[in-house]
Amino acid sequence: MISKIIDEDLIQKTNSLLQKCDNIVLITHEYPDGDGLGSALAMYDYLSLEGKQVSVLLPNEIPSFLQWMPGADSVIVYEQDPETARSLLGQAEVIIFLDLNSMERVGAMASFISQLTVHTVLIDHHNLREKPIAHVEIQLPQIASTCELVFRYICRVGAFEKLSKDCAVCIYTGMMTDTGAFTYNSQSNEMYLIINQLIVKGIDKDEIYKKVYGNYTENRMRLMGYALYEKMEVLPVYQTAIITLSREELDRFGHQAGDTEGLVNQPLNISDVRFSVFLREEEQNEIKISLRSEGDLSVSKIAADLFQGGGHFNASGATYRGSMQEALRIIKEALPNYLGTPEDEEDN
């Protein structure tokens, strides 16, 4: 039995809102990952079959390793087509935000959205905030992926029978990518009951794994090799590894969106590394920061403290407006505060 972990009142509120509205826009965060895109496309599939006028709106482009996803070709990207995006937002009766917990994460369209008078729903698994961002919020940080919440929602409104194979593929993709293919945050037994149901719907889990993780271009593989061999700095005293990639280096390897996905996890495979940092220069004075940790080190706190970022306990991120050197300096100077050496502790 899969337990009814989402509050009944929230299910009812969301369902009655979606029943009475026809025009629905689904939005996930910038630099979308498998869970963000998967949860939006799963809801897109479900609501389209319910006869709704639905669109998926992304702040920026779909990474290469997710472009195969069912429904991906119908997505509108704000950065590429702001006029269409604004017109869809203008017509929307409901906006559903998926897999994000702050409006900053929708990028440049945040200010446009803030001016709209529209019903809003949030489905998410990040940490709770002091101030809500939507009228109805289904937000459960204890659940490993937003896709799992979407599955639970669809079941709770009695629509499991109608859940399509495409929808199941999208849900599985997000469950898989937010748990590193079920290698972390993956101990809940109900997760596997849900996967069982998705297999009953006809997904091929091995094929999905291959499409997400086994579809590198040669350039991407060489970029990974370069980053790990030439660019990874290991600081044993702080059990930390740091990788930086400048715009020039990314361009040298013909970098496409998504090519560095997963790179930040690699240094954690070194037995003595428990904090991994990856800094990617998007453009001049815009550094995308990814932080990962093992164990009881909260990287969402580090991202928030140092860069006003956020995320999950062991996986977080931020954007820094400044140079690579500055970002690197801020991190290195902060290491003794978060990863004090045993000698430091004895001194205290």
Position with the least CB separation from ligand 5GP: 317
- Shortest gap between Cβ of 80 and Mn ion (angstroms)? 23
Closer to Mn ion by Cβ: residue 146 or 260: 146
Instruction: Kindly calculate the radius of gyration of the chain based on its CA atoms and give it in whole angstroms.
Output: 20
Is 39 or 48 the residue whose CB approaches Mn ion more closely?
39
Asked whether the beta carbons of 285 and 321 are under 8 A apart, the reply is yes
* Pick from 41, 89, 150, 222: nearest CA to 231: 222
Binding site for Mn ion (CB under 5 A): 35, 99, 146, 178
Task: Determine the length of the chain.
Answer: 348
**Among 32, 70, 174, 311, contact with ligand 5GP (rule: CB under 6 A):** 311
197 binds, among Mn ion, ligand 5GP, none (CB under 5 to 8 A by kind): none
**How are strands ordered across the β-sheet holding 240-245?**
232-235, 240-245, 275-283, 286-293, 315-320, 310-311
Tokens of 73: 């070709």
The residue within the footprint of ligand 5GP, chosen from 309, 320, 324, 331 (CB under 6 A), is 309
Residue 267's binding partner among ligand 5GP, Mn ion, none (Cβ under 5 to 8 angstroms by kind) is none
Q: Map the footprint of ligand 5GP across residues 3-42, applying CB under 6 A.
A: 31, 33
Residue 315: name its binding partner from ligand 5GP, Mn ion, none (Cβ under 5 to 8 Å by kind). ligand 5GP
**Is 310 a binder of ligand 5GP (CB under 6 A)?**
yes
Q: Does residue 133 belong to the site contacting ligand 5GP (CB under 6 A)?
A: no
Judged by CB under 6 A, does residue 65 bind ligand 5GP?
A: no
Instruction: Please count the CA atoms within 13 angstroms of the CA of 31 that sit on its side-chain side.
Output: 17
Going 213 to 214 to 215 to 221, the CA torsion angle's sign is positive
Burial class (CB in 10 A: 0-12, 13-18, 19+), 343: exposed
Question: Would you say 244 or 290 has its CB closer to ligand 5GP?
Answer: 290
**Closer residue to ligand 5GP, CB minimum distance, 18 or 302:** 302
Q: Which of 286, 184, 278 is nearest to 231 (CA)?
A: 278
Q: Least distance from C-beta 178 to Mn ion, angstroms?
A: 5
State which residue, 130 or 345, has the beta carbon closest to ligand 5GP.
Answer: 130
Please report whether residue 125 would count as binding ligand 5GP according to CB under 6 A: no
User: For tokens 């900053």, what's the residue?
Assistant: 104
Q: Which two tokens stand for residue 179?
A: 């748990």
Rounded Cα distance, 125 and 98, in Å: 9
- What is Dmax (Cα atoms) for the chain? 66
Q: Within 262-301, which residues bind ligand 5GP (CB under 6 A)?
A: 264, 290
Question: Would you tell me which residues interact with ligand 5GP (CB under 6 A)?
Answer: 31, 33, 102, 105, 126, 264, 290, 309-312, 315-319
